[in-house]
Amino acid sequence: MAFSQVTTQRQIGAGISAPRRDSPRPGGSRHRTLTPQQRRVKRAFDVVVSLLLICLVLPLMLLVALLLYVEDTAPVLQKEVKLGATGLLFPVYKFRTRPRIVYLRRASRLEQFLAVSGIDRLPMLFNVLEGHMSLVGPELLAYKPGLILTDARRADLQIAPGLCHVRDERSYVEHYNLWSDVRVLAHIVMLALK
């Protein structure tokens, strides 16, 4: 799909009320966002780590794609449209975790395992590499026609959504440093190894 971007708070097109970079908080102050230097450091970290991870998990992704195809010749990837930084719409691809026609069959054991384990999200590393997402950041927002964003959600859209979500997005941005991302990723790895 062609990428599109909404740049004002007015409802445009299908009805997204999207943020402006200078959108003020109630009370007059502006949303805190990353400095240009912090953005460059974060982006460099995302590129290097996502490239390494893609190289490491590529055999696993190929195996999962093959198993899904053997199980059901339907497309092995599912496409969803998400909202990125500053209201950018972009496609996200995940491994199939539900049947293409839901009423014909239930999700298979393999599809259920992919969803529970998070392996279905591995193709999203390419979104990180492309720059639409970050390794660590706010939760992905799904696009829906007529979507109205709250003030808190407008703040979330000041930085790219994360493959790994942070609990307190505003605190994450206000106290951001590179080690914040390293700590979050290390915590995720430790949980996965348990």
Task: Give the range with max mean pLDDT: 62-66, 140-144, 157-161, 180-184.
Answer: 62-66
Question: What pLDDT digit, counting tens, does each position of 14-30 carry?
Answer: 444 444 444 444 444 45
SS3 173: helix
**So what's the pLDDT on residue 194?**
67
* Token pair of 92 as six digits: 């996200």
> How far apart are the C-alpha atoms of 88 and 82, rounded to whole Å?
8
pTM: predicted TM-score of the whole model, two decimal places:
0.76
pLDDT reported for residue 157:
67
Determine the pLDDT at residue 65.
95
Report which of residues 145 and 56 the model is more confident about.
56
Q: Is the pLDDT of residue 112 over 70?
A: yes
**What integer pLDDT is reported at residue 56 of this predicted model?**
94
Helix residue ranges per DSSP H, 14-108: 36-71
Nearest-angstrom CA–CA distance, 111 and 100: 12
Q: Which of 93, 95, 102, 186 lies closest to 132 in space, CA to CA?
A: 93
pLDDT, mean over the chain: 78
Measured between alpha carbons, how far is 76 from 118 in angstroms, rounded to an integer? 15
Write the pLDDT tens digit of every residue in 60-109. 999 999 999 998 877 899 999 888 887 788 999 999 988 766 656 788 89
Distance CA 138, CA 160 (A): 7
Kindly indicate the confidence band of residue 151, based on its pLDDT and cuts at 50, 70 and 90: low
pLDDT in tens, 40-56: 999 999 999 999 999 99
Domains of the chain by residue range: 4-8+35-193
In order of 67, 114, 155, the CA distances from 125 in angstroms are 20, 16, 24
Cβ-based burial of 53 (10 A; exposed 0-12, middle 13-18, buried ≥19) = middle
Residue 193's pLDDT is 67
Q: Report, in this order, helix, strand and coil percent for the chain, each rounded to 5.
A: 45, 15, 35
CA distance 38 to 45: 11
Please compute the mean of the pLDDT values over residues 144-164 and round it to a whole number: 72
- Token readout for 153 is 């959600």
pLDDT score, position 106: 81
- Residue where the block lists tokens 């496609």: 91
